[in-house]
Structure 1
Amino acid sequence: MTDKTREFSSLNSKPASFKKYATRVEHVKKIVIEHPRFNEAMKLLEEVHELSKESVLAEGLFICGRTGVGKTTFLEHYLERFPRQEMDDYTKVPILYVKVPPRAKSPKSVASKILYHLGDIFFDTGTEENMTGRIQHFVRECNIEMIILDEFQHLIDRDTQHVLALASDWLKTLAEEIQIPVVLCGLPESQRIFEHNEQLDGRYSNRIFLEPFYFSSPEEQIEFRMFLKYLDAELPFSESSNLSDPQLAAKIYYFSHGVPRYIKDLVKEATKISLRQGKDCITESSLRDACYRITRSSRPYALIPFDNNKFDLAEWLDVEDKKNQAFIKESQEEAKERRRRKKKKATH
């Protein structure tokens, strides 16, 4: 862990200068916590990458998880180890990372995006077969070892048998022709593609499921608190913020539901507040004030747990759930009443 007492000096109760403020906030944005589950997933990605160099049949890898669990952060962390290199007569691209564009109409849209990232000036021209052939050419010329397709669910957003069949057939063909790993990363619903091609399903037997942290069992609580301890050790302050304290950890869990992105957003805003106030750590009042800056429209009945001595995780989660259920029931009854009135009006 970083020796923060030497890297980040005390603010001595004085608001951070703009330079210190900007540097320390940027530091928070770049924090990546290599907790055990993160490292386990990283080893599998590395294994698929390395073993395929010596194999006649490259393995595939599917990475999925809900929004905010850190899929893109995970991939970017691996990519940092394999930057592009300008050689004498070509550009070496060890790993090609491409985000599937929203509302991708067909595999051709993805092929075009791949060619664009490879510098093909005719990236949007040609048939699907022709584009796939050009990708194969670039794989050889640029010494590409692996292709990563992120936001993969965009290719199959239109859930029809035709779209899924086209996408699965193209992926199978692409993987066979380029003979390097094609890593797919997306939301859980993107798993539907494997139901439409048995061979593709077999090729992607390696799968990583990134999940949020949980807080039900003692083991889950320890895992979550260790994550917070690692995060605390990387914060740009001279003192510990004690994020892994049992009660404070429970409050952070309530706010975030264990989703790393929400934790990072909370800590980033609390860091800004503490720096402006000249504090040498994140305090619970900083976390409280940070909550007011973060909009969570998906949780209209969530309360702010920080600086609240009456907080009880189980009770607060139960109360919030009951309010949500009541709202859903009320909305369903209102919709039912609107349909009844519309039907009654139509009969007159």
Structure 2
Amino acid sequence: MDIMAAAIQFSQCYIEHPYVKRIMTELDKLRAQRLLSKDQQCILITGEAGTGKSALIDHYKVKDVATNKSTKMTPVLLTCISAKRDLDSTLIQMLHDLELFGASQYKRRGFATNLEQKLVNALKRAQVELMIINEFQEILEYKSMQERQAIGNSLKYISEEAQVPIAFVGMPWAAQICEDPQWASRLIRRRKLTHFCFKDIDKRRYYLSYLKGLASRMPFASPPDLASPPIAIPLFAATNGENRFIKELLKEALMIALQQQDDTIKLVHLSVAYALIVPDQPNVFEFPLDLLQLKEIESPSRINFDMNTVEQLIIGPKYTKPIAISDILSLK
């Protein structure tokens, strides 16, 4: 078996668990209803790094391309904030992502053009039904209230004139756009992707169901029992329930198992994989289960408005105090 090909295939698999299915259904609904009113209803999708925001919208885009592969139109425009993090550069980026030839000429000094109207016309020509802006928080950072309002006004005009709903995707503070009353009413749909949880029984089932989905995507005759306590519990302890870390750890363990020609993933493979990825941390896969302690996110990351340096801009998520697995399992 080609180990690298198997690892890539697993890495690219996507588990449509119920919550992300609901979000994708909402994206479809926004597209279907976009011609009913000039005032477009939009959606805000936020979450911590590693919760699967980019994976969700990439998967949605891939599904759309597969459905519309026979047309030259662009029903779903997936774009991002320009590296310069200003409005004009971002509008040019959107034109570029629409594969509009000559988009680079808008950067020339003195080139008189209305970027908003150019983008509206381009969206109409490409018959775009939904625009997804990833990492949206980047254009709001370091901006005053007036600057954020100007950005909001521009995007509102584009959305209304082109009759294209917008999905704003980003870190939790992307919700700053809702400080504008006009956008607050357009962003009734606000969805949050979170890390997995273990303490709550229903949320734990959600986590275990996700692990079963990942196991079914592995190239073994019989899927590994990733949802069994000896694997699921230390896997959570190692990752704090972070989607991206879980998948990266499992990918590494998969490659080790295939290299050793084993017929499934075992605890020892995860132990070796964890030691390779985070060699300076105690290896939780070598701990007895009753000695493991788990942490979950208690409050999300946020902007630090009292920052003195750029490095202090973001305050990371706050985690719960470690709680023993025996105490968690005794909860009702």
- Over 3 Å counting, the alpha-carbon distance change for 1:152 and 1:128 in structure 2 is farther
Q: What does 1:204-219 align with in structure 2 at a 5 Å threshold?
A: 204-219=187-202
Q: Does 1:229 align with 2:212?
A: yes
Aligned to 2:323: none
Q: What does 1:188-267 align with in structure 2 at a 5 Å threshold?
A: 188-195=172-179, 197-267=180-250
| Deviations, residues 16-69 of structure 1 (Å, cap 9, x unaligned) | 4xxx21221121111111112221222222211222244443211111111010
Aligned to 1:21: 3
Q: Does 1:304 align with 2:283?
A: yes
TM-score of the superposition, structure 2-length normalised? 0.81
Aligned to 2:92: 112
Counterpart-to-counterpart distance in 2, 1:256 and 1:127: 50
Counterpart-to-counterpart distance in 1, 2:45 and 2:146: 24
- Over 3 Å counting, the alpha-carbon distance change for 1:109 and 1:211 in structure 2 is same
Which residue of the other structure, out of 1, 11, 15, is the alignment partner of 1:33? 15
* Deviation, structure 1 residue 72: 0.9
- Over 3 Å counting, the alpha-carbon distance change for 1:281 and 1:85 in structure 2 is closer
Which residue of the other structure, out of 174, 197, 200, is the alignment partner of 2:158? 174
Aligned to 2:317: none
Counterpart-to-counterpart distance in 2, 1:252 and 1:49: 38
Larger Rg, first or second structure (1 or 2): 1
Q: What does 1:1-348 align with in structure 2 at a 5 Å threshold?
A: 16=1, 20-83=2-65, 91-104=72-85, 106-118=86-98, 119-123=100-104, 124-125=106-107, 130-195=114-179, 197-295=180-278, 302-309=281-288, 311-314=290-293, 317=295
* Deviation, structure 1 residue 99: 1.5
| Deviations, residues 61-99 of structure 1 (Å, cap 9, x unaligned) | 111111010011111111123227576xxx311111101
The percentage of aligned residue pairs carrying the same residue is 23
* Deviation, structure 1 residue 255: 1.1
* Deviation, structure 1 residue 205: 1.1
Counterpart-to-counterpart distance in 1, 2:150 and 2:165: 20
Conserved? CA contact 1:68–1:259, under 8 Å:
yes
The one-letter code matched in structure 2 to 1:111 is L
**CA RMSD for the aligned pairs?**
2.3
Counterpart-to-counterpart distance in 2, 1:211 and 1:135: 33
Conserved? CA contact 2:47–2:192, under 8 Å:
yes
- Over 3 Å counting, the alpha-carbon distance change for 1:239 and 1:159 in structure 2 is same
- Over 3 Å counting, the alpha-carbon distance change for 1:291 and 1:141 in structure 2 is same
> Runs of 5+ in structure 1 lacking a partner?
1-15, 319-348
The one-letter code matched in structure 2 to 1:70 is G
Conserved? CA contact 1:175–1:182, under 8 Å:
yes
SS at match of 1:293: helix
The one-letter code matched in structure 2 to 1:206 is R
Conserved? CA contact 1:70–1:261, under 8 Å:
yes
- Over 3 Å counting, the alpha-carbon distance change for 1:157 and 1:269 in structure 2 is same
The one-letter code matched in structure 1 to 2:95 is L
SS at match of 2:233: helix
* Deviation, structure 1 residue 202: 0.7
TM-score of the superposition, structure 1-length normalised? 0.77
Counterpart-to-counterpart distance in 2, 1:272 and 1:192: 42
Conserved? CA contact 1:167–1:193, under 8 Å:
no
Alignment length (residue pairs) = 290
The one-letter code matched in structure 1 to 2:238 is F
* Deviation, structure 1 residue 166: 2.2
* Deviation, structure 1 residue 103: 4.2
Counterpart-to-counterpart distance in 1, 2:292 and 2:203: 14
Could you say which structure has the greater relative contact order, defined with CA pairs below 8 angstroms and 6 or more residues apart? 1
The one-letter code matched in structure 2 to 1:208 is R
The one-letter code matched in structure 2 to 1:24 is A
Conserved? CA contact 1:168–1:194, under 8 Å:
no
